[in-house]
Structure 1
Amino acid sequence: MKRIVLFLSLALALPCAFACAGSPPIPGVTRDINFAFNSSEMSNAEILSLANWIVDTHSKRSVLEGVSITGLADKREHNPQLIAEERANIVKRTLDVLGVRAAKFEVVGHLYRAAVPNDKFEPTGTRAELTLIPECPE
């Protein structure tokens, strides 16, 4: 899954890289937003944490080229594809409320597949991955 997000991030950043004549592009930043099992509702703590992260990120990268949101769901959840899509969409709506604007938005939902099965350090599939890709510096 991280490969997919990395690919999406690079795909969104690629036009930026070509547009940045003479100056290196600023890398995107990624954050996980966790959800309860079988739920697509963001907790108040996650909303507050996301809002703080957006404010902090916006102070460093004020103009965004793109935003990638990948909702994930564990295969054991009830109707996992739908839950994954709902998670991605709720993150998008939350970003809209927070005033996040970008030239491109990609919002998708996927079933989570662990890169290393049974690894205790592997993140769970009950989350959404959010990547903010900044515009090239002037």
Structure 2
Amino acid sequence: MSYFIWLMLAVAAFVVEMTLPTFFALFAGIGFIFAASAAFFFPDSLVLQLIIASVFMVFGAIIFKKRGFGDDPRDAVGTHNEFIGIGGMVKTALSPHQEGEVELYEAIVGSRHWPAVSEDGEINEGTEIQVVKLNGNTLIVEKI
């Protein structure tokens, strides 16, 4: 297989890795890069390329798991867990049936401003809130 194909697979794996918070595709991308190196120097040895890609993927995942990276719940970047408990202030009035906007005290996933609805009852502008749930990209909040 051409080294160029391995490099395209590596780029695709890294793009997938950037969109998922799992580190699953990272090791595939690393394995593909090393397979591309093997394909550059040994273009006729597909078996060697496949073995190199597989070895780096498997060993990378084993080392990652043995070290315990990603096991801490606080490492859950990009998941709903990081929103729960964050405080903020209502920027536009909201209710359980009407979406408004809140400004969080901490920037989450690069933004402080998020669409939100209240868990129960109406919440007026300027009221302090706390995130209790996440529904899609809409926060569900309650008054503090």
Give TM-score scaled by structure 1 length.
0.23
**Larger RCO: 1 or 2 (CA < 8 Å, sep 6+):** 1
Q: Specify the structure having the higher radius of gyration (Cα).
A: 2
Give TM-score scaled by structure 2 length.
0.23
